[in-house]
Amino acid sequence: MIKKLFAVTLVWLFFSCKEEPVKQNFVFILVDDLGWTDLGYSGSTFYETPNIDAFSKKSINFTNAYASASICSPSRAAILTGKHPAKLNITDWLPGDDPKDRPLIGAIDLNQLPLSEPTLPEILKDNGYKTFFAGKWHLGDQGFLPTDHGFQTNIGGYKKGQPPGGYYSPYKNPYLKDGKKGEYLTDRLTQESINFLDTISNKPFLLFLSYYTVHTPIQANTAYIDKFETKLKNLDSLKVSHKKEGTATTKMQQTNPDYASMLFALDKNIGNLIEKLKKEGLYNNTTIIFTSDNGGLSTLEPRYSFKAPTSVRPLRAGKGWLYEGGIRVPLLVKPSNFSLENIISEVPVVGHDFFPTLLSQANIKINDSLKIDGIDISKLFVNDEILRNEIYWHYPHYHGSGWTPGAAIRQGHWKLIEFYETKTVELYNLANDVSETNNLANEFPQKAKALQARLHELQKNHNANTTTTNPMAN
């Protein structure tokens, strides 16, 4: 009897003295307009990103990762809510630029992320996390800012989609104090993030670093521009070429030294942030996500005064388009306490998956009433398996890249794109045609018909907005 009582007492002491498990932290790095092949590890030979390349070897490289939209605001809203942009009725960059002289009138959508939508930072904050935001927001102005959606701190986030003062102080940003003359915006946002890490006081945190770079205006980083101008001069055999895409033109080589210098500066800063996490003993217990909000800006109409700065070959087109160049993005994920190296996952994932995934990693149950569209992809951190069979995109607007209203769906290796103006569809098999050069719609009409029907069903389920015929168009 005494032995039994003693044993029970030991068990009680063990569990009563055991500390609560340490909650993991989250660092979400979102780069603006970063192309699928803009990084060294993903194939670039002109751009240089040594720190990101090194990080790719210590994380999971998702090669079939997609943004929720081919433009910024819908993608960002989907990341924060776990919902498809069509369901949110945020389907264009805010406030958009729908022309009135085209055959169709773009759909009417919201100009801000509604306060009624529960967000990732709100839920994490309610569960004891410190929440910090720095950089591009582009989901609303006063009353709809990061601090209205669960972030306790906002450095530089407001309604603008690009830095109004450019990449050097003075920034002309009401939510970012100017630094010394010549201070570089990417450096500043990183330093603010590093400073935040000095304030956490052992609390779990969400650090959301949403860089403005490499969005236009394309401004050379003065510290690194000479390096890439010299590199370009040494490419004697290089012939810059372009390809027609609708009413626009796609850049086919990576040759912009200004853009390269911006990327190199980004890489330096990400290296500094990771070094800080390691120095403070936070790296191992932190899940780090590195991705882009849409494809690279490689395709533009001739009406613009500047040229597209990058190329995302072998993908077709770029930002704004629902070809792969506009929606397939880099994605690196280092889960907490992750020790594997050189892991590649080819399983398709999409931006609205981050919401349930991070909450799952934080051991926070999602209320079923939220009816999110994202899938918890944390199973992929330990084993590759197919989690979903399809992803669809809804973009019923015109865009300066030459895109005309339409939608797309990927199901397995099959992908269908529907164009509303011409009432046509294109069908591709991505398994052997990632460049989407061989339209199979006529060869496989039944497959095209089935995918189009499924696309319409998904749009109906989300009560998706749509275009209208323009009675004033010629």
How does pLDDT run across 145-191, given as a tens digit for each residue?
Answer: 999 999 999 999 999 999 999 999 999 999 999 999 999 999 999 99
Q: Which domains does the chain have, with CATH numbers?
A: 23-388 (3.40.720.10)
Res. 474 pLDDT band, cuts 50 70 90: low
In angstroms, the CA 151 to CA 137 distance is 11
pLDDT of residue 19: 52
Across the chain, mean pLDDT equals 93
Complete DSSP assignment for 346-381: -S-EEGGGHHHHHHHHTT-PPPGGG-------GGGG
pLDDT of residue 237: 62
User: The pTM is what?
Assistant: 0.94
- Number of helices (H), then strands (E), belonging to the chain: the values are 11, 19
In angstroms, the CA 450 to CA 447 distance is 5
Q: What percent of the chain has pLDDT over 90?
A: 89
Alpha-carbon torsion angle 369, 374, 376, 378, nearest 10: -150
Q: What percent of the chain has pLDDT over 70?
A: 94
In angstroms, the CA 338 to CA 360 distance is 16
From residue 270, alpha-carbon distances to 76, 191, 427 in Å are 20, 10, 38
Mean pLDDT (whole number) for 115-122: 98
How does pLDDT run across 313-333, given as a tens digit for each residue?
Answer: 999 999 999 999 999 999 999
Distance of CA 310 to the CA centre of its chain: 17
